[in-house]
Amino acid sequence: MNTMTLHRVGRPLQAMTLHRMMQPMVLFPLLAAVSVLSVFAVIQGGLSLAARWDRSLMARGEYYRSHEPSVLVTRYEERLSAVRVALRKRGYDAGPVHAAMGPRTAEALRSFQRRQGLPVTGRADESTVTALGVKH
């Protein structure tokens, strides 16, 4: 067989294959398979996006749980108690350890800040806490 014969035989074969594919018994299952694969791809993409969204949501939830007002208030109260204990060890009357910030604590802080050469604010700011040796 030469190339001319193969060429002639190939064309009717292509035409026959195309004709067979267009028959309903072949075309409909082929279209159904393509549709199923398309739907599968869309579902997989959606699941991937949902998983990414879940991870992001979990990270945000963890952040907000660690920054709740009750957690921040507890940290502030612990820090204020530690500052009062440190002031008391240095001879300053800072008031009761577990009380709210009041005038006695503010005056003790101002006195300590003046003696240490710190900005006098009457608050337990970073420089004062560091000078008192309180871990924060």
Single out the residue in 12, 37, 65 at which a domain terminates. Answer: 65
User: How far apart (Å, rounded) are the C-alpha atoms in residues 60 and 25?
Assistant: 53
Query: How high is the pLDDT of residue 6?
Result: 47
Judge whether 92 and 111 are in contact, CB under 8 Å.
yes
What domain range includes position 103? 69-132
Domain final position from 48, 65, 82:
65
Q: Is the domain of 54 the same as that of 95? A: no
Q: Does the structure show a pLDDT above 80 at 90?
A: yes
Tell me, yes or no, whether 60 and 75 share the same domain.
no
Residues 48 and 95 in one domain: no
Position with higher pLDDT, 29 vs 71: 29
pLDDT grade for 16, boundaries at 50, 70 and 90: low
First to last CA, the chain: 91
How many domains is the chain built from? 2
Q: Are residues 128 and 74 in the same domain?
A: yes
Q: In the prediction, which pLDDT does 10 show?
A: 53
Asked if residue 109 has pLDDT above 90, the reply is: yes
Question: Could you tell me how many helices (H) and strands (E) the chain has, helices first?
Answer: 5, 0
Asked if residue 118 has pLDDT above 90, the reply is yes
Based on the fold, state whether residues 75 and 128 are members of the same structural domain. Answer: yes
Q: Are 30 and 60 found together in one domain? A: yes
Same domain, 61 and 47: yes
